[in-house]
Amino acid sequence: MLLNPKAKERDLKLKGAVQINHSSFFVFKDKNGKTFLKNGEDEKLHKSIVQKMIELNPHIARLLRRYKIKPVIDTRTLNELTNGHMNDTCNIAMGVYSILSNEIKDKVDKGTLKEASMLHDLGKVLIPSKILNKPAKLNVKERKIMNIHSTLGYELLKTQNLSNETLALIKYHHQNLQHSGYPVLPADKTSSDLGVQIISIADKYSALREARVYRRRLSRMEALLILYREVREGKIMPSVFNALLKYAELFDN
Ligand SMILES: [Fe+2]
Ligand SMILES: [Fe+2]
C-alpha cells in the first residue's frame, strides 16, 4: 500500500477509510488497480474529491435542488465524522460482528460491513451545518433534509466502485426490522438484513455515547436501555443487541 499525495484525484476511486496511529486515511484505487492512501485531514483534497463525486452523478444535483440545499461541502464535518463517529461506528460494528455466533456471522461479509460502517454518514457533508449542528430539536422541514443524508451518501459513493452490498448498507443504515426508518425500502428489499442491523445498532450506540450539541453524552447503561426498548418494539434483532451488550461490557468502560 502506498501513500501518494500526488496521485491525481480524477484517476482514483474511493474504496474506504482506515485509521492509522490516530490519523485517518482514505483508501483509493487507481485505474491500474493500485491501492493508495491519502491523508483524510487534508481539507482541500476532501473538497475536490466530494466535488468530483457530485459532478459524476446528476441525481445528486436533482436531490439538492428538490430539498433546496446549496452544494456546499462541509469539510470540517467530514473530518470530524471520519475521525470520530464513523470510525467509532466501524469499531463497534466490527466488535459486535466478532461476538456473534459463527452461524449468524456467515450471513454477512466482514469486509463489506467494515467499508460501509466507515463511510455510512458521508452524505452529511452536504447537509447544511446549521441543521447538522442545531443545538435544539429539528423541525419537520429540517428533519426531512437531515434524513436524506443516507441517500446522499449512497449517491455520492455510487460512482466509486463500491459493491452493491456496501452501497445498500450505506443507504439503509437508518432502517429497522419494522421498516419504519428511512429511506423507504423498495418491495424487494428487506431490512432484516443482518448487515443493516449491525451497522444500525453500532451507529446508534456510537451516537448515544457521544455528546451532541443538543444533549449530553449518555452513560453506557442509559444508551443500552434506549436500544433495549427498540428490541422490545421489534426494531432490533435480539441476537445483535446481545452481541452489543457483550461488546459494551468488554470494551466500553
Ligand atoms: Fe446516519
Ligand atoms: Fe451515523
First to last CA, the chain: 34
CB 121 within 8 A of CB 149: yes
Q: Which ligand is nearest to the CA of 150?
A: 1
Residues, CB-to-ion distance under 5 Å, ligand 2: 121, 203
Cell numbers describing residue 160 = 466509486
Q: Which ligand is nearest to the CA of 92?
A: 2
Spell out a b/e string for 233-244, using b for 16 or more CB atoms within 10 Å of the CB, else e.
eebbbebbbebb
- 19-23, 113-117, 183-187: least confidently modelled range: 19-23
Ligand 1 centre to CA of 155 (Å) is 14
Arithmetic mean of pLDDT, 5-18: 60
Ligand 1 centre to CA of 126 (Å) is 13
- Taking each helix axis from N to C end, the angle separating 110-119 and 85-99, rounded to the nearest 10 degrees, works out to 160
Ligand 1 centre to CA of 199 (Å) is 10
- Amino acid identity of residue 130, one-letter, is K
d(CA 28, CA 220): 35
CB 67 within 8 A of CB 9: no
pLDDT at residue 64 in the model: 93
Residue range 43-251 forms a domain whose CATH class is mainly alpha
pLDDT at residue 247 in the model: 97
The string of pLDDT tens digits covering residues 103-124 is: 999 999 999 999 899 889 989 9
Ligand 1 centre to CA of 154 (Å) is 11
pLDDT at residue 10 in the model: 56
Question: With bands split at pLDDT 50, 70 and 90, how would you rate the model's confidence at 2?
Answer: very low
Of 120 and 19, more confident:
120
Ligand 1 centre to CA of 120 (Å) is 6
Q: Where are the domains of the chain?
A: 43-251
Q: Which ligand is nearest to the CA of 175?
A: 1
Distances in Å between the alpha carbon of 51 and those of 39, 61, 109, 208? Answer: 17, 11, 30, 31
Residues of the chain with pLDDT > 90, as a percent, come to 57
* 35-39 vs 13-20, strand pairing mode: unpaired
pLDDT at residue 249 in the model: 95
Of 154 and 191, more confident:
154
Ligand 1 centre to CA of 150 (Å) is 6
CB 214 within 8 A of CB 131: no
Per-residue HEC secondary structure of the chain comes to CEECCCCCHHHCEEEEEEEECCEEEEEEECCCCCEEEEECCCHHHHHHHHHHHHHHCHHHHHHHHHCCCCCCCCHHHHHHHHHCHHHHHHHHHHHHHHHCCHHHHCCCCHHHHHHHHHHCCHHHHHCCHHHHCCCCCCCHHHHHHHCCHHHHHHHHHCCCCCCHHHHHHHHCCECCCCCCCECCCCCCCCCCCHHHHHHHHHHHHHHHCCCECCECCCCHHHHHHHHHHHHHCCCCCHHHHHHHHHHHHHHCC
Ligand 2 centre to CA of 63 (Å) is 20
Highest mean pLDDT among 60-74, 179-193, 232-246: 232-246
Whether the pLDDT of residue 174 is over 60: the answer is yes
Whether the pLDDT of residue 65 is over 60: the answer is yes
Closest CA relative to residue 124, chosen from 203, 238, 216: 203
Of 160 and 170, more confident:
170
Ligand 1 centre to CA of 69 (Å) is 18
Average pLDDT value over all residues in the chain: 85
pLDDT at residue 242 in the model: 98
CB 141 within 8 A of CB 69: no
Of 154 and 79, more confident:
154
d(CA 27, CA 12): 9
